[in-house]
Amino acid sequence: MSENFTSPAEVARNAAQEAELARLRAEAAAAKLAAAEAAAKAAELQAKLASTTDQTEAEVLRKEAAAADSTAVTKTDEAAAKEAEGAAVEANAALGAASPDAVAPPAAPAAASDDTAEKTAETTEPAVTPSTHEPPADPRAGTIAAGYSFDTPTMPLGCALIDGHNYPDITISLPLRMMNRHGLVAGATGTGKTRTLQLMAEGLSAAGVPVFITDVKGDLSGLMSPGAPSEKLQARTTAQGQSSWQPTGYPTEFLTLGVSSESAPGAPVRTTVQNFGALLLSRALSLNATQTEALQLIFEYCEQRTMALDDLKDLQEVVTFLTSTDEGKTELNSIGGVSRPTAGVILRSVAALAAQGGDVFFGLPAFDTAHFLRTAADGRGVISLLRMTNMSEKPALVSAFIMWLLNDLFRTLPEVGDADKPKLVFFFDEAHLLFEGASKEFLAQVEQVVKLIRSKGVGIYFLTQTPTDIPEEVLGQLGSRVQHALRAFTPKDAKALRATVSTFPVSDFDLEELLTSLGVGEAIVTILDEKGRPSPVAPTKLWAPQSVMGPVDNAQVKKAVEASALAVKYMTPEDRESAFEKLRAEAQKRQEEAEAAAAAAAKAEAEEKARKEAEKQAKEEEKRRREEERRRREEERRRREEERRRREEERDAERRARTGFRGAASKAANSFARSLGTQLSRELVKDNGGKKILGTVLKGFFK
């Protein structure tokens, strides 16, 4: 007896339609609820705005209210779109019911096995995304479908891809609860790693998971804007089972290290040297054990003195003070000594870090890493996009930032174990730049944090070219793998290819051949399932991101930054009184005191010199007085002597005047006598008797 027969494929198709319709109705209801919540939040913010008098708070509230209004409108539109899509599904279902395909039963319908029906259902595409070419039956497809069938919420990556055929009914997904087991996205340049990162960030955000991304190339700002639909894109999404694709922008926060700029605008991320800590900083500076102990002593000294270490100039000032001044050496000796060579190494390392941007990364206001855990008003996770251009030129700064960020989150987040979804997922693009030439201390720190931070609900994903770029100790902690194509042009490439293949689970695929033949947007995926077991290796056609696949105009980014509450809070740097200012003030005070003491000493010396000079002048004056007195007396003596001589001369003159006649007569007599005597003598000398007589006469005459 003949009767109409409904094939297993049609049953599966109808079931898929019902499931899709239920999904769309649920999503429409959720969108309406989110729109209502956003509208309520906007009203609440407007009420707060009306009552506040603080201009800064008002600006923040105004921006948040605008964002909530925008979310309400977006969600309302989304609900309408979902309802329209649901109506289309219902119309298709009604059309199929009006003219069903009557399929003759097989010759022995009772003999049809359940396995045959199951296989037929597995290879049938859902009616909402019909394909003109069904993929061929392949036992590997069943293995993959079973390996990626989960009971908990997932984040879709794409559809299965076997021998060049898409299997749109087999969705390759990652369980959200396993994303804290970390992962790796690898592949040669130009194979689509960045778009895979974008796709994963979108999926996580849509699931309410906050995301942090290091944007090394500056090409991920498109996450903020809805993508542009096109016929080509529609054909791609249809062929790979991405029926839910629609242009969507995601809540994106733009960040930058230390300072915002025209080329890289964003809310500045800073921390203080004190918050960073001596041990972590010593690792960032690659200090040895002795130098680390010295740095810890310096931090301890600052804590005892209640001197804040905000930025690197604070640390440099303290090290210089403690090792180069008598006052500092005395104080340092009370807690332990730091040698001059050790201080020199620390200062040089700090200077190198400052030159790479540490001078603006360390400072106030310090960024609160809790901002990375935010969700938007509509419940989607906020994507924090940190611009890190010229990363290869700043290895010390990048290492310091990564170490601080992971360590701070590990220190502050509570233990959650394997939650239904992660609290936060990190994506480190161009990860090979993190590890090239990295110090042992940095590698040890990253390895330790990667091992332990998953219990805090944090997942870490590294993007690089080959798995060999990641240290083995870290690579061993990465549970999920999205491997894009590799190129084997050189013996080194071939060796890297074989090493990559060896890291995958045993597979039915020839992975060496497959990895070199994958196209752009295709990858091999393996993850940890809900029980922590490796999933089957799944060649995957990755879905298309729903946001702009590339950077948006810088003006859009600047506008988003200006509307950011974080930018309002962190944009302007602060410089409070810290160790630098305190030590400089103390040095200034000591200098002023020294100058005052020197001035007092100089004054005392000048006064003493003046006193001695006065004494000297007094002595010289006394000497001059005595000399003048002596000269006066001498002059007086000469004057008296002159006076005496003058009087004597006057007396002599008077005497001569009185006796002038008698003198003249006497003179004449004497002259006559002499003349007479001469004559007489001539006569008398003729005999001795005459001489005697003459002598007697003359003697008597002149008596």
Who's near 502: CB < 8 A, 6+ residues apart?
A: none
Phi, psi of 239 (to 5 degrees): -65, -25
Q: Does one domain contain both 120 and 95?
A: yes
Predicted TM-score of the model (pTM): 0.69
Average pLDDT value for residue range 567-577: 94
Could you tell me the pLDDT band of residue 464, with boundaries at 50, 70 and 90? very high
Could you tell me the pLDDT band of residue 247, with boundaries at 50, 70 and 90? very high
Who's near 547: CB < 8 A, 6+ residues apart?
A: 198, 202, 222, 223, 224, 225, 226, 227, 247, 248, 249, 250
Q: How buried is 196 (Cβ within 10 angstroms: 0-12 exposed, 13-18 middle, 19+ buried)? A: buried
Q: Could you tell me what percent of the chain has a pLDDT over 70? A: 79
pLDDT digits (tens, 9 = 90+) for 300-318: 999 999 999 999 999 999 9
| Domain assignment present for 587 | no
Average pLDDT value for residue range 528-554: 94
Q: Mean pLDDT highest for which of 59-68, 584-593, 632-641, 693-702?
A: 584-593
d(CA 682, CA 366): 147
pLDDT at 125 over 50: no
Which pLDDT value is given to residue 110?
34
Which pLDDT value is given to residue 50?
66
Q: Does one domain contain both 42 and 180?
A: no
Question: At which of 328, 363, 398 does a domain end?
Answer: 363
d(CA 324, CA 346): 14
Question: At which of 623, 640, 658 does a domain end?
Answer: 658
DSSP string, 23-60: HHHHHHHHHHHHHHHHHHHHHHHHHHHHH---HHHHHH
Question: At which of 131, 163, 198 does a domain end?
Answer: 131
Q: Does one domain contain both 482 and 392?
A: yes
Q: Does one domain contain both 406 and 529?
A: yes
Please, how many CA atoms are within 13 Å of residue 292, restricted to the half-sphere of its CB? 13
| Domain assignment present for 236 | no
Question: Which residue is it, tokens 């009006």?
Answer: 98
| pLDDT, mean over the chain | 84
Distances (CA, A) of 109 to 57, 61, 377, 398: 74, 68, 55, 67
At 244, list the tokens. Answer: 């839910």
- Computed on alpha carbons and rounded to an integer, the radius of gyration of the chain in Å comes to 55
How does strand 183-186 pair with strand 458-464?
A: parallel
CB-based contact 451:157 (threshold 8 Å): no
Strands of 538-542's sheet in order across: 165-175, 154-162, 538-542, 522-526, 480-483, 183-186, 458-464, 424-428, 211-215, 383-387, 252-257, 267-269
Q: Does one domain contain both 373 and 332?
A: no
Q: Does one domain contain both 127 and 175?
A: no
CB-based contact 298:339 (threshold 8 Å): no
At 603, list the tokens. Answer: 């004054």
Amino acid 699 reads K
Number of other CB atoms surrounding residue 504 within 10 Å: 17
Q: Does one domain contain both 332 and 346?
A: yes
Domain of residue 634, residue span: 594-658
Distances (CA, A) of 192 to 185, 320, 385, 523, 550: 10, 50, 19, 9, 12
pLDDT at 423 over 50: yes
Q: Does one domain contain both 125 and 168?
A: no
Number of domains within the chain: 5
pLDDT digits (tens, 9 = 90+) for 314-336: 999 999 999 888 888 888 787 77
Q: Does one domain contain both 392 and 520?
A: yes
pLDDT at 538 over 70: yes
Who's near 309: CB < 8 A, 6+ residues apart?
A: 272, 273, 274, 299, 302, 315, 318, 578, 579
Amino acid 373 reads L
| Domain assignment present for 24 | yes
Which pLDDT value is given to residue 558?
95
Q: Does one domain contain both 205 and 257?
A: yes
pLDDT at 444 over 60: yes
CB-based contact 240:543 (threshold 8 Å): yes
Which pLDDT value is given to residue 153?
95
Where are the extended beta strands (E) located within 457-586?
Answer: 458-464, 480-483, 522-526, 538-542
| Domain assignment present for 141 | no
Which pLDDT value is given to residue 509?
95
Could you tell me the pLDDT band of residue 75, with boundaries at 50, 70 and 90? low
pLDDT at 115 over 50: no
Distances (CA, A) of 658 to 289, 344, 666, 671: 126, 113, 14, 21
| Domain assignment present for 609 | yes
CB-based contact 544:245 (threshold 8 Å): yes
Which pLDDT value is given to residue 107?
34
pLDDT digits (tens, 9 = 90+) for 630-674: 888 888 888 888 888 888 888 888 887 777 656 666 666 667 667
Amino acid 315 reads L
Which pLDDT value is given to residue 26?
74
Which pLDDT value is given to residue 695?
63
Could you tell me the pLDDT band of residue 113, with boundaries at 50, 70 and 90? very low
Q: Does one domain contain both 610 and 681?
A: no
Which pLDDT value is given to residue 475?
93
CB-based contact 386:213 (threshold 8 Å): yes
pLDDT at 572 over 50: yes
Minimum mean pLDDT range among 7-11, 17-21, 179-183: 7-11
Give CA torsion, residues 183, 187, 191, 192, to 10 deg: 20
Q: Does one domain contain both 537 and 599?
A: no
Minimum mean pLDDT range among 1-5, 624-628, 665-669: 1-5
Minimum mean pLDDT range among 42-46, 198-202, 497-501: 42-46
pLDDT digits (tens, 9 = 90+) for 577-604: 999 999 999 989 988 998 999 999 999 9
Amino acid 441 reads E
Could you tell me the pLDDT band of residue 99, with boundaries at 50, 70 and 90? very low
d(CA 701, CA 673): 9
Q: Mean pLDDT highest for which of 43-47, 72-76, 428-432?
A: 428-432
